[in-house]
Chains A and B, each alone.
Chain A
Amino acid sequence: MTCDRWTEKLDAYVDGELPAAEARALDEHLRGCPSCAAQSLRNVQLKRAVHAAGRRFTPDPAFRARIQKAIAAPKPILWSQRWLPVLATATAAVLLIASAFLLTVQHNRRGEQQLIGELVDQHVAILASANPVDVVSTDRHTVKPWFAGKIPFTFNLPELQSSPFVLVGGRVSYLRQSPGAELIFRVRQHQISVFIFQDQAPREAGVNEPVRTALSFQVRTWRHNGLQYFVIGDASPQDLDNLSELIKAAG
């Protein structure tokens, strides 16, 4: 077995840039090659480290406020040289951000169905998996801390003792390359996935349709405190509503 064919492709592999057939072949190779598997793991560690280190600088509140103020309430035009550059910048920001917003909305409308579809797929994968969760516990005080450091936010879990719901566990999930939490609950014989992600795009899917069905699964979505919640399952609509209410109350 030679590694020469693969070593130069490991970067593209962990970047998800290899064609599907090659990626499958490399998957196969990694199962039998400790050296390439270790290198691949190191590449993933490096990627994660840079990803985490990359979020370092936040705009000064005064700078942000200046731009936001300009967008929210543009001042009347003062035709003095002193104000012209400020107004030009404000107008530029307004138009640019409006354009970006329109593009985003347009894109989101197209992608909305796809986004819910992705989450339903993840939920179905959980149903089919022999090891559906990374942290197995019915104790919310175990599950919540497990996510610390794995996702860039925290959240509250509801008290379930007087409810028919049982917490099965959780795992890290990804939506549009952003990490989030997937919590698995059981009610009778049904499993329900609750996905929680950072609410990075305020006009993404879910805003106009908090209740829906996708591929016969019930879906509930809402936003709270900068987080976006998706509750997906094949339990009754009432069960999904009840679980959603419990989570909202905890949040």
Chain B
Amino acid sequence: MPLFDRLYNFAHWLTQDRHEAEDLVQETYVKALKGFRSFQQGTNFRAWIYQILRNTFLTSRTGLKSTATVPLEPESDQERLPVSNDTPETILLQRSDQQLVKQALSHLPVPYREILLLCEFEEMSYQEISATLAIPMGTVMSRLSRARRTLRDTVQELQQTK
């Protein structure tokens, strides 16, 4: 089943709950069928179905709660963050720290978590991310930059409390 596992993985990351993730994936398939006419052949099917899943999540109770309680820093298309001056030691994300990265990812606000997963795990291009999240390319870049910085900070915090 194409995309089934990946959609489920993404849904679970968003909802952080197995049952909610199953409901979300099921609802996504139903909505995708209903709206299949709106899918234009030749356009990006993956971005289209991820967009449905994400929009479904955002209108769910968990989704509404997660976005309502997390104010993001203002995003600007023009703004780019300065590069972090972390030492290599503090961000040494080796295999042994996988658990830490997973933990840090689940601590991130949803908008940061989802863009990192789309970029790094789903390996979507900026163009695909822009289509999936319905945000301009400039915002994709600035949000990714912030998400990475926040992830690094979170990993460091978790390392210090270990």
Contacts and interface: CB of A to CB of B under 8 A. Distances in A.
Contact of A54 (B80, B91, B121, B126): B121
Contacts of A41: 88
Nearest to B16: A57
Contacts of B145: 11
Nearest to B28: A96
B152 A46 contact: yes
B82 interface: yes
A46 B144 CA distance: 12
Given A17-B125, A42-B88, A101 B148 contact: no
Interface residues of A, number: 49
A246 B5 CA distance: 33
A57 B82 contact: no
A23 interface: no
Interface string A135-154: 00000000000000100000
A12 B120 contact: no
Most buried by B among A17, A59, A68: A59
Nearest to B104: A53
A56 interface: yes
A103 B126 contact: no
Contact of B36 (A50, A68, A95): A95
B68 interface: no
B2 A67 contact: no
B65 interface: no
Contacts of A149: 95
Contacts of B34: 92
A54 B9 contact: yes
Interface stretch (B18-26, B55-63, B69-77): B18-26
Contacts of B131: none
Contact of A49 (B41, B49, B97, B125): B97
A52 interface: yes
B36 A38 contact: no
A177 B80 contact: no
Given A71-B1, A177-B123, A56 B33 contact: no
Nearest to B33: A92
Interface in A91-136: 91-93, 95-97, 99-101, 103-104
Interface of B: 1-5, 8-9, 12-13, 18, 21-22, 25-26, 29-30, 32-34, 36, 41, 45, 49, 80-84, 86, 88, 91-93, 95, 97-98, 101-102, 105, 116-117, 119-123, 125-126, 141, 144-145, 148, 151-152
6 contacts: A50-B117, A58-B5, A59-B25, A92-B33, A97-B2, A99-B36
Given A52-B101, A177-B123, 16 more contacts: A10-B83, A11-B148, A45-B93, A50-B116, A50-B117, A50-B120, A52-B95, A54-B9, A54-B117, A54-B121, A56-B102, A60-B22, A63-B8, A64-B4, A89-B26, A97-B2
